[in-house]
Chain A
Amino acid sequence: MRFIISRFVQYVLVVFCGITAVFFIPRLTGQDPVLEIIAQIQAQGASLDPTAVQSLMETLKELYGLKGSLLQQYFTMWRRVFTLDFGPSLFQFPTPVAQLLRIYLPWTIGLFVTSTILSWVLGNIIGGFAGYFSGKPWSRILDAIVMVIRPIPQYIFGVVLLILFAYLWPIFPVRGPSIGRGMIINLSFILAILRASFLPALTLVILGGAVWFQQMKLLVQNVKREDFVEYARIGGVKGWRIVFRYVLKNAMLPQVTQLALALGQVFSGVLIVEMIFSYPGIGLLLYRGVTRGDYNLVMGITVLSILTVATATFLLDLFYPLLDPRIRHR
């Protein structure tokens, strides 16, 4: 019980500090969302009478909820957090932040969760075997290939895939025009989504998979040298049983933790991949929010992110003893 209470207090503190930081940090950037809108209108050459702009600025402040002291805005923010109503997006006014999240989040979850799990599964399986059979030539060749792939930045890798499969051998679109549409479940829609998501997913799976591969390979190489594996071998336990029950199972534990934390990053999105493939995700939305000083949007996305990561970590802390008897024992 003490364990649960201490973890819960830690959880509440993390959420409180995180959300407070999220409130203040955008306000310290020196950007004013009202001026950003005015500048956007002016930069494109739109003509606004000078005398009109002052009243427009007042109106926008009123509409954006930026009137009142910082303390008043802070308390308003907590009310919004508890009701999960983050108000309107300032840059995409008057669209509510909640509506934007509803539109974009499923796309990010679809791409990010699928590719993260896929890369995790593939990376761990292949990495596990490569680690166990690390002396074999195929393992060394695979390791060398992964060593080359892993440091390639997402931007470069994505563009290379685009050039290869959307230009030189054009079997995929530069981007799917239907991908941003609302979710309509029919075959042609699903096919279009799959097709348009293939290259972004491939980028994430290969680059992500390379990381999981290397981690798992190292873990397995260490675990297979442990005494209990040696005892099992001497004791006559069969080869595959040693691989799955003794080595891989133990090497998986830190990878499970990593997976939970990686999935928690869904709200940060996959900005670079979204940009290259014009994919309608939360990463681009957050980027726009940050560059335009859209406090409400940044707030909405990061609060959800904080809540998700903190909750995932909290739950993981609670469930980990079930996975690892050593922690239960402690």
Chain B
Amino acid sequence: MLKRRKWFLGVLVVFVMFCGSLAFAQLPGGVPRNETLIVDQLTGRVGTPSNFNLWAGWRWQDRGLQQLVCEPLWTVDYATGEIIPGLAAEMPIYNEDFTKMTIKLRQGVSWSDGVPFTADDVVYTIDLHVKNSELLYHGPMAEFVDKVYKTDDFTVVVELKKPNSRFHTNFLDRWGCLRIMPKHVFEKVEDPIAFEFNPPVGCGPYKLKDYDPAGFWTLWERREDWEKTPTGMLYGEPKPKYVLFEAFETEEAKILAQLRHELDMAQYAPEGLRVVLEKSNTVRAWRKNWPWVVNIDPCITGIMFNNMVEPYNIKDVRWALVLAINIVDYMAIAFDYMAPVSPIHLPPVPAYVELFFKPMEEWLKNFELDIGDGQKFKPYDPDVPFKLAQAAKERGYPVPEDPEAIRAIFGIGWWKYAPEVAEKLLKKHGFTKGADGKWYLPNGNPWKITIVADTNPAHHHYRNAMAAAEQWRKFGIDATVNATEAFNTLVLMGQFEVATQWPAAEPWGVGVDLSRTFDVWSSSLLTPIGQAVTLGPGGAARWSDPRLDELLKKMETTNPFTEVEATRLLGLEALKIVVEEMPTIPTYGYCGAVAWDEYYWTNYPGAENPYSQPYQHWPNFKYMLPFLKAKH
């Protein structure tokens, strides 16, 4: 009996030793943990692991490809409000009538295989895109480029077929742009579409070391000649020798990995962030205190109407639905009070608050709606942030007392909760309210709203949908949420009445130029229902306004680099028109719940020191790496 027990114990010890010896996972390629930064990959497991050719299709570019290997001509940094010239040496230079753009290039840059970067690479890239219709950026290149040539090894001139003051934005990286190809690699390739570009060659500070054929991870190694990259020249040596991008299929696995110090930078749903912060002594969020989340993201979330469908083609109906929302209750459901509300179609990030929100505040306060019978109503409520702060305090959150701090967390204001005014607006158009408290359409049918939403409960689209449905139900409308996998298709094809898609396209980072936000609402791009809109976020609202068309024309002939104030004022005017018409409802700024483990690395760009945008999936991630500090 004793012998048998000993034998059993022996087996158990060997088993535990076997597991224990392998317990602390060896990293791919055997790279040392203390020299490796491990980050979570936002878009999940790579579907095309061996293919790095991001010019030819979707290649999960946030696997490190856009952050570490590719260096664009320019990059937007929404945390600082700057445009960072990467391969370009300075901002683009336009001629008077915007038919010629000159690009001055940075000198001394090398591709990761040692070949010098020159104007030939830029000319080749643009030229190839003009000729090859299967490349992603063929459209704008073929439409606008007349001629492209170099005047010396570091100057490229692009002559345009027609004026375009925003042609440079094709090369301005804000999670995607036309990046420059290595001519010496692609010119030897017969088919640039089928070419896998493996290993990728770039001007970023890292090169490919290894990757998982199943797409779960990609490992990058710092280039020995990092000083020959724009990142090295601008900010110095990136500190981690290796960067490992990992995809996790579940939030639970991600949390456990971070608690075991096997993941340094991650992005969660707010609930996941809370768990990590509670359980770990070494993990921090963007903000060290509540509400923790990143609230400087350049995206605005909210509700989108299909303006081609009755009754949402009526401005008063859209406004009635705004006034039927109690934003304090709404934010409790949508994001537990952690996000800043926004009354306009921009997120309330610090730069925009200065450039647009504060200058618009007086106008917002005086803005009036005609509610019939000669009556006017001022819908703006500047006290919303304080109401939100009070509600958050009642939930037990440590809310600051300083009014400025409150506005920084909760936003500058939103629209009043005024169901009685909403009622007047609806009755103006023949809507009726039954004895049962339910609303009826002018044709006598019960008013039902189906909000089409994303299926991911952690996504802001889903959260907005739930909150909106709740508010409108309270108001007496039979509102339900249809969270469907066909969300994207339905929205793009216009087969919806109300959806929780982005209410407006984010601008070019946080500069004064808002053309990207409003371009999608140009009447020339209006698309009938049943035909897919191709206009990015906001465009699916299928709305336009002649006054906005006029402003867009003016924007086209205004140089955002040399006519900064004029550009800003045009943006302000456009914002006012969109508020008046309310084709979509902006609710709150997108918030990312990032968690950084300070066990191996410190000095992340948190709220107290926002030297860079904070996400590991943005292309600017490479500019953050020289500032990180190793701890072990």
Contacts and interface: CB of A to CB of B under 8 A. Distances in A.
A54 interface: yes
Instruction: Give chain B's interface secondary structure class.
Output: loop
A86 B256 CA distance: 38
Contacts of B194: 94
B516 A276 contact: no
Interface in A81-115: 89, 91-95, 103-104, 107
Interface residues of A, number: 70
B256 A163 contact: yes
B47 A53 contact: no
Contact of A166 (B246, B247, B260, B495): B260
The residue among A49, A53, A55, A191 with the most chain B CB atoms within 10 A of its own CB is A49
Interface in B489-542: 489-493, 495, 506, 516, 519-520, 525, 532, 534-537, 539
Given A171-B23, A195-B19, A275 B250 contact: yes
Contact of B253 (A54, A91, A103, A175): A175
A159 B252 contact: yes
Contacts of A172: 19, 23
A150 interface: no
Interface stretch (B173-181, B311-319, B358-366, B568-576): B173-181
B16 interface: yes
Given A47-B516, A94-B57, A181-B212, A171 B260 contact: no
Nearest to B535: A50
B48 A95 contact: yes
Contact of A38 (B19, B47, B495, B532): B532
Contact of B486 (A29, A56, A91): A29
Contacts of A54: 139, 534
A76 interface: no
Interface string B361-399: 000000000000000000000000000000000000000
Interface in B233-280: 246-250, 252-253, 256-257, 259-260, 262
Interface residues of B, number: 77
Interface string A162-178: 11001100111111111
B458 to A, nearest CB: 14
Contacts of A78: none
A70 interface: no
Contact of A36 (B27, B193, B214, B489): B489
Contacts of A278: 45, 216, 247-250, 253
Interface in B561-617: none
A51 B493 contact: no
Contact of A51 (B26, B140, B262, B485): B140
A48 B170 CA distance: 8
A91 B47 contact: yes
Interface in A143-184: 159, 162-163, 166-167, 170-182
Interface stretch (B117-125, B129-137, B411-419): B129-137
Contacts of A170: 23-24, 260
A192 interface: yes
Contacts of B493: 32, 35
A45 B534 contact: no
A107 B212 CA distance: 14
B485 A291 contact: yes
Nearest to B170: A49
Given A35-B488, A35-B489, A59-B134, A49 B139 contact: yes
B253 A162 contact: yes
Contacts of A31: 485-486, 488-489
10 contacts: A29-B486, A46-B177, A63-B134, A94-B48, A171-B19, A175-B216, A177-B25, A277-B253, A278-B249, A284-B249
Interface of A: 29-32, 35-57, 59, 63, 89, 91-95, 103-104, 107, 159, 162-163, 166-167, 170-182, 191-192, 195, 274-278, 280, 284, 288, 290-291, 293
Given A177-B26, A278-B216, 15 more contacts: A43-B488, A44-B62, A54-B139, A92-B48, A94-B48, A103-B214, A167-B259, A172-B23, A175-B253, A175-B257, A177-B216, A180-B213, A278-B248, A278-B249, A280-B216
Q: Which 5 A-B pairs have the closest CB atoms?
A: A52-B139, A46-B176, A180-B214, A53-B534, A92-B47
